[in-house]
Amino acid sequence: MDIKYVSTRGDKEKVTASQAILRGIAPDGGLYVPENFPKLDKSLEELKGLNYRETAYEVMKLFFTDFTEEELKYCIASAYDEKFDTEEIVPLKEADGLTYLELFHGPTLAFKDMALSILPYLMVTSAKKNGIKEKIIILTATSGDTGKAALAGFSDVEGTGIIVFYPKDGVSPFQKQQMVTEKGRNASVIAIEGNFDDAQNGVKAIFSDKELAAELKEKGYVFSSANSINIGRLVPQIVYYVYAYVKMLKSGGISPGEKIDVCVPTGNFGNILAANFAKEIGLPIERFVCASNTNKVLYDFFKSGTYDRQREFALTISPSMDILISSNLERLIYKLCGSNAAKNAEFMRELSIDGKYTVDEAMMKELRDFEAGFATEDDTLSAIKSVYDKTGYVIDTHTAVAAFVANEYRNKKISNNKIIVAATASPFKFAGSVLKALEGTGADNFNSEWDKIAELEKLSKTKLPKAALAIKDAEVRHKEVCAKDEMKQVVRTKILDGKL
């Protein structure tokens, strides 16, 4: 089956997967969704013998139907290689009755690597297929993890340049060190005086600036996005849910056809939506438990039907989830509308003008397989401590938000399904907060980030991956800071001055 992609806001043009990947966002500001959902063409039993790369091919071939087998296998093999510190790519860990799906074994120690290690290959292949001659400039706003993962993916990739904006005070010391030491000659990293939503809005505004696009095109450049709105990021994230299920099947943890639930620490709604897409292609997932930190805009939405971004923005110890506009939710809203793009576009217009929208009864009913919860800062810390005390397993702050919410959900006894918790970052990446959870004020005895990491290595009886160690004494190469209304100017100058 040939899959075409349509905009969630009604743009009439249907595009191929490769075109959707190149564009990132549709011309009308909507997100690309498959016109129809494909189904897995092998049974889950048949997938049992496959490794991660082979599973990835079985899933991605369903969505990226204009890629040849050779192209897709090349992209997959280039992405999921020794960059990951384990041959399994995504190991499963049982702890305290929950199954943790460890998505943080890539080069930047967070789950963004799962998609961003393949996106550059998908993009360059797409450019070739579509006869694009211009250099592709990747513009990215990051709440911490996307930035480095995108830099790692696109670093020195021929035919591309990358600019990353991050909120100056909104990322962890480790995340910042990862980004400002980036060595790629085609890369630029800039702090903005603002929060993640400011950065994301700035990037969106640059993307929809037709004048700038025309000027740059003439000079040989086109923009694309590595943010999680790109369908080329969403589809690779479906893979690990399929892989995890099959692995549980293989180990006897579940029996054929058994339903499971997933609990995902959520920010931009990409990861949990990928789980939802996995269900669409035939994976027996019953419920999606959406876990938020104190920026609980999604929790409130699932409870009330009103999405209201007008609220105080909190900086938390799970910074990659500090988001008030969850862009990927639009794809779910579109689905809840029965693929009525005009209706979805109206909600999105309300969101940008009034800062909120309310879905109707019928749409709320369609949400029955979603559950939601949130964890306060204290809940998050106590979840880390509790899992460690019971099992010796150390989880990071984002995973802890999900662990807390999964526990609450489990206690409600809505079902007896096994629960997969998406473990989205390595605890080493947020060593300060994790240590505070484990040792309380004892954590204050450690001054540098690296001392904290060393202590954490002892407590967790695991080693910091080599890739992470490399940034320790690396030279800081990116020191630029700009105001949020200067982003466009900065981008234009960098590109025209040939800095990428």
Ligand X SMILES: *Cc1c(COP(=O)(O)O)cnc(C)c1O
d(Cα 408, Cα 371) in Å, to the nearest integer? 11
Instruction: Indicate whether 375 belongs to the interface with ligand X (CB under 6 A).
Output: no
Minimum distance between the CB of residue 395 and ligand X, rounded to whole angstroms?
Answer: 11
Minimum distance between the CB of residue 145 and ligand X, rounded to whole angstroms?
Answer: 3
143-202: contacts with ligand X (CB under 6 A): 145
d(Cα 415, Cα 488) in Å, to the nearest integer? 49
254-293: contacts with ligand X (CB under 6 A): 265-271
For 115, other C-beta atoms within 10 Å of its C-beta total 31
d(Cα 105, Cα 475) in Å, to the nearest integer? 24
Q: In the stretch 321-340, what mask flags binding to ligand X with x, by CB under 6 A? A: x-------------------
417-436: contacts with ligand X (CB under 6 A): 424-425
User: Which is nearer to ligand X, 45 or 369 (by Cβ)?
Assistant: 369
User: Which is nearer to ligand X, 112 or 129 (by Cβ)?
Assistant: 112
Minimum distance between the CB of residue 29 and ligand X, rounded to whole angstroms?
Answer: 19
Grouping H, G, I as helix, E, B as strand and the rest as coil, residue 402 is helix
CB 169 within 8 Å of CB 145: no
Tokens of 306: 């009103």
Grouping H, G, I as helix, E, B as strand and the rest as coil, residue 235 is helix
- β-strands 98-102, 92-95 pairing: antiparallel
Among 204, 309, 398, 410, binds ligand X (CB under 6 A): 398
d(Cα 139, Cα 205) in Å, to the nearest integer? 11
Q: In the stretch 31-70, what mask flags binding to ligand X with x, by CB under 6 A? A: ----------------------------------------
For ligand X, how many residues bind (rule: CB under 6 A)? 17
Minimum distance between the CB of residue 265 and ligand X, rounded to whole angstroms?
Answer: 5
User: Which is nearer to ligand X, 146 or 224 (by Cβ)?
Assistant: 146
Instruction: Indicate whether 407 belongs to the interface with ligand X (CB under 6 A).
Output: no
d(Cα 445, Cα 227) in Å, to the nearest integer? 38
Grouping H, G, I as helix, E, B as strand and the rest as coil, residue 195 is coil
User: Which is nearer to ligand X, 111 or 347 (by Cβ)?
Assistant: 111
CB 177 within 8 Å of CB 479: no
The region of 32-40, 48-56, 109-117, 204-212 touching ligand X under the rule CB under 6 A is: 109-117
208-237: contacts with ligand X (CB under 6 A): 228
d(Cα 353, Cα 347) in Å, to the nearest integer? 10
For 133, other C-beta atoms within 10 Å of its C-beta total 8
Tokens of 172: 């962890």
Instruction: Indicate whether 320 belongs to the interface with ligand X (CB under 6 A).
Output: yes
Residues that bind ligand X (CB under 6 A): 110-112, 145, 228, 265-271, 320-321, 398, 424-425
